[in-house]
Amino acid sequence: MSGLGATAGFGGLAEVPKERPPAVAQGAVVDQELFRTQFLKAVDKTENGARSLELILKVRNMGEQTKSVGLVPEPGPKVNRHGGFATTLLRVTPPIEADNSPQAYVLGYGVQSGQLHPGITHTVVVRYDLKPGAAPPAQITIDVGGFVLDTVSRRDQRELWQIKPKRELPQGAGQEGDPVEPAVIAQVTLPVRPEEG
């Protein structure tokens, strides 16, 4: 048998099974490099007849500068490589039947903010306003991304925190703003519990 035939004969050319990201339990901390995030709970909330699903997180900024909470990405394979914290909330399964894009904000002493200050643990709320008549699922799984400190490109040698890519960050001139396919570093499953507002 030839080398290629032997390799194929023993299954060497078979597709390698995809590695699943680590499953993380409710309440455990996910190390995202720039942030340490604890996924506390998912709450089915009703206020004034309107229903929402809220994710309650504890997020600690491990960097040296204030960072933006940012926006939860639109569904799709790529995200903004220069996004904020919420950009790392890559996918929720099953999809939430929301009326609009989710809101992500810091909640402290009843006040909403969009800033994550260094060295401080913040409560972050990600709120999905449900469509009329829609009900949240019994549980959700969140694909979580991370950050990497890397140069912006070969011509822009500044090292900035960027969304950790599945492969390499685009480094060519003119690719500084290109979206990336993010790496999923963890999957967090949360039961959805009812809470009246």
Q: Answer whether residue 5 is part of any domain.
A: no
Average pLDDT, integer, range 166-192: 92
Q: Which pLDDT belongs to residue 3?
A: 52
% of the chain with per-residue pLDDT over 90: 74
Is residue 12 one of the residues assigned to a domain? no
> Residue 165 contacts by C-beta under 8 Å, 6 or more apart in sequence?
81, 148, 180, 181, 182, 183
Higher pLDDT, 10 or 48: 48
149 vs 9, residue with greater confidence: 149
Domain count of the fold of the chain: 1
Residue 149 is assigned to a structural domain of this protein:
yes
- pTM of the complete model: 0.87
**Residue 101 in domain:** yes
Q: Is residue 15 part of a domain?
A: no
Please list, in sequence order, all residues whose beta carbon lies within 8 angstroms of the beta carbon of residue 159, skipping any fewer than 6 positions away: 149, 150, 151, 152
Residue 2 included in any domain? no
For residue 83, give the nearest of 28, 132, 34 by alpha carbon.
Answer: 34
**Mean pLDDT of the chain, nearest integer:** 90
Domain span at residue 97 reads 20-196
Look at residue 4 and tell me if it is in a domain.
Answer: no
Q: Is 14 among the domain residues?
A: no
